[in-house]
Structure 1
Amino acid sequence: MLGISLFAVMGTLLFYIYFMAKSYPRQELSAVFALSFFVYNFDNDTMSAPYMLAPMAELSHRPLRELIETFSGPGLSGCSEYFTEMISAGAFIAGGPFESWYADNGPCPRKIVYQIVGSDPSHLARAASLLDQNECLGIDINMGCSAPAIARTGAGVRWMADIGKAGEMIALARKGVKRRLSVKLRLSTGYALPEGEDEFVYLVRFCRRLEEAGVELITLHPRTGREKFHRTARWDYVSALRKELRIPVAGNGDIADAAGFLARASSGVCDAVMVGRAAVKQPWIFAQARQMEAAGLGAAPLGTGESVAQSGEVFTKMNINIEETGLLFLDLLAKYQPPEFHLSRAQRFFGYFCDNLKWGNYVKTLLNRETELSGIGRAWSGYFREGEE
């Protein structure tokens, strides 16, 4: 009877959305996307904002996703959406030697969002169309990367310099994408705006153009392209932008632990919350935040530094073995990435994960001296055998 009732409720909701979409076309995408959030969270026994893993170069790959999933269990939804590290649209359509690794959608294909980057509209549209044929949740176009090597080509955050051009590119990409199409961006390029226009006014105009062209979700990293990580993320802009758009808005920036993650997710300022570097340092952050939420702990402050495991135990009954977690990551890296990626990905991961240790900087130095994955594993375990004192 319960199953029949649920189907009846969902059927009614779907009919309502269809009716609204026919009557109010501009609200169609927003309504459908909002329903997908509702269904996902209802199915996982929670109604908080979805939790997303940010796209990070050399980090947002299958080994990290596999590691994050190991902390999920019965009743724990963990991460809702996994954004991949940015995929070069030009290299992907040219059939580069490593593109299949970037396009790996394991272990949770239905949670995968492929992020693509490029400056050529036709390349972006073609890559989006090809990736859309894989099992995934959606396609995301990078309009936020401010790395000089990306921005100087006209890609990443440089798309934000021209509203018309960006809108045309999105409209072209939309034609070949049946799944959700999203964009991740910043407040602005950080350079002077046309005729001295206010930064937020320009941002709203830019996002409304993307919305009109077919974007169904916008993730805002509330810093400019020139600020990088030098200024505190301005989450008030996330809330303000959300009020100006019909489509959902996700927020990203300055989330340091599960307590901060949960605080943002339950604040009501955004429709979803994205975390990046903190999820590399603490791959258990998604599961921990979910457990805190389920226990009704709200945004209780966690400990810092060496107390991370103890904090997890107090608030969520999670016991984290740092050594074993690091070794598991190395095993996953060897299994799911090509040998050419092993060293760079391992050193990049431990550059954040070592921050869980008392002598983290010392361990980073040891690991960065190694030239093979096996050497990194020996150096990592050696630190724990010697003892942290």
Structure 2
Amino acid sequence: MAGYTHSAFRRLCRWLGADRVYSELMNATGIVFKGIEKELAYFTGEERPIHLQLYGRNPEEIAKAAVKVVEEYKPDAIDINFGCSVKKVLKAKSAGYLLQFPEIMGDIVRETVNTIKPYGVPVTAKIRLGFHEDNLEKIAENLIEAGVSLIALHPRLAKELFTGKARWERIRDLKKISPIPVVGSGDVWTWKDMERMFEETGCNGVMAGRGAISNPWIFKEFKEKRDYKATFGERIEFLLEELKLMWEFMEKERACKEIKMEAVQLFKGIRGKAKLNEKVMRSKSCKELVERLEELRLKVHE
């Protein structure tokens, strides 16, 4: 969830009830040769337990990057992403591309597990069913043998991106053969979807991605077992608080540009959203954006 799941958003989700969080993707090659991007790796104690997420294609390189990340940031887990299927990542023959090569996936996990073992940090993995065809059992076998501590499965093929329907029954299949925890994801839009995924698959955890970006209150809903419709005022408060937290680790003007994407997500389903989006998106500076959000907040309380 590039551009969305930075430290500020993760903290707000934790306050709303999320049990654990994952960082945005970090390129292992970039870490080894250029260093760690602070914006991507930054987190606070409130976010723990947190998985810092790496991708790449070279086992030794990913392991070296993991050591750097563990030494500097001390996360609760290193997650290796084998699920991302955006063009840029596939072109680099990383993440989702590697689903075609379960043995290489196993080599990556094994090298990383062995290299960071002295630090006591577990290695987890995010996967899909396969690239062109469903190869789940072979993929899982290689990762488990390599020492992975948890598998998060989005049950679509890499080539499908987010089209079609997530095949939750394959989460159930993985859970039946896995000696380690399994987290399910895919088509989780409401707290009732979370409940249903637990019931239908027996998974150990449910991951909300796109559903949480447009409705971070999904975690509150699940914990309280009830529908909760955040008011327009709450959505504005969320954006202002998120922006304030983003300024801790991101240059101010850049943060204001980035948060416009989240504003579009939070205004979904709100009457007059086109005008709201225009008002926010046309802000030419950080000062103007904050002023417009404050104006909207005052109107709610009038």
Compute the displacement of 1:170 (Å). Answer: 1.5
What CA distance in whole angstroms lies between the structure 1 residues aligned with 2:297 and 2:43? 34
Q: 1:120: which partner in 2? A: 58
Q: Which amino acid aligns with 1:364?
A: N
What CA distance in whole angstroms lies between the structure 2 residues aligned with 1:145 and 1:344? 24
Q: 2:113: which partner in 1? A: 174
Compute the displacement of 1:274 (Å). Answer: 0.3
3-state SS in 2 of match to 1:220: strand
Compute the displacement of 1:379 (Å). Answer: 2.9
Question: 1:222 is matched with which residue: 151, 155, 175?
Answer: 155
3-state SS in 2 of match to 1:222: strand
Compute the displacement of 1:249 (Å). Answer: 1.2
Q: Deviations over 1:135-180 (max 9, x none)?
A: 3210110101110111011111011111222211221111122312
**Residues 144 and 185 of structure 1 are in contact (CA less than 8 Å); yes or no, is this contact kept in structure 2?**
yes
What CA distance in whole angstroms lies between the structure 1 residues aligned with 2:202 and 2:260? 35
Range that drifts further, 138-147 or 370-379: 370-379
Higher alpha-carbon Rg:
1
- Identical amino acids, percent of aligned pairs: 24
Q: 1:92: which partner in 2? A: 31
- 1:330 corresponds to 2:243: yes
Q: Which amino acid aligns with 2:75?
A: C
**Residues 170 and 215 of structure 1 are in contact (CA less than 8 Å); yes or no, is this contact kept in structure 2?**
yes
What CA distance in whole angstroms lies between the structure 2 residues aligned with 1:80 and 1:242? 20
Q: 1:223 to 1:320 in 2, by over 3 A?
A: farther
3-state SS in 1 of match to 2:183: strand
Question: 1:289 is matched with which residue: 222, 227, 232?
Answer: 222
Q: Which amino acid aligns with 2:19?
A: S
**Residues 146 and 157 of structure 1 are in contact (CA less than 8 Å); yes or no, is this contact kept in structure 2?**
yes
Q: Deviations over 1:52-101 (max 9, x none)?
A: xxxx2111111112222343xxxxxx2221100011112222344x7122
**Residues 184 and 203 of structure 2 are in contact (CA less than 8 Å); yes or no, is this contact kept in structure 1?**
yes
3-state SS in 2 of match to 1:355: coil
1:224-373 mapped onto 2 (5 Å cutoff): 224-292=157-225, 302=227, 308-309=229-230, 321-339=234-252, 341-373=254-286
Q: 1:142: which partner in 2? A: 81
3-state SS in 1 of match to 2:230: helix
- 1:207 corresponds to 2:158: no
Compute the displacement of 1:121 (Å). Answer: 2.1
Q: Deviations over 1:308-346 (max 9, x none)?
A: 138xxxxxxxx9722222221222222332336413421
Counting matched residue pairs gives 296
Range that drifts further, 332-341 or 60-69: 332-341
What CA distance in whole angstroms lies between the structure 2 residues aligned with 1:186 and 1:63? 27
Q: 1:156: which partner in 2? A: 95
Compute the displacement of 1:268 (Å). Answer: 4.9
**Residues 346 and 373 of structure 1 are in contact (CA less than 8 Å); yes or no, is this contact kept in structure 2?**
no
**Residues 65 and 107 of structure 1 are in contact (CA less than 8 Å); yes or no, is this contact kept in structure 2?**
no
Query: So what's the TM-score if we normalise by structure 2?
Result: 0.89
Compute the displacement of 1:371 (Å). Answer: 3.5
What CA distance in whole angstroms lies between the structure 2 residues aligned with 1:163 and 1:290? 36
What CA distance in whole angstroms lies between the structure 2 residues aligned with 1:153 and 1:128? 19
Query: So what's the TM-score if we normalise by structure 1?
Result: 0.70
What CA distance in whole angstroms lies between the structure 1 residues aligned with 2:2 and 2:75? 19
Q: 1:185: which partner in 2? A: 127
What CA distance in whole angstroms lies between the structure 2 residues aligned with 1:213 and 1:370? 50
Q: What's the Cα RMSD here?
A: 2.3
**Residues 68 and 283 of structure 1 are in contact (CA less than 8 Å); yes or no, is this contact kept in structure 2?**
yes
Q: Which amino acid aligns with 2:262?
A: F
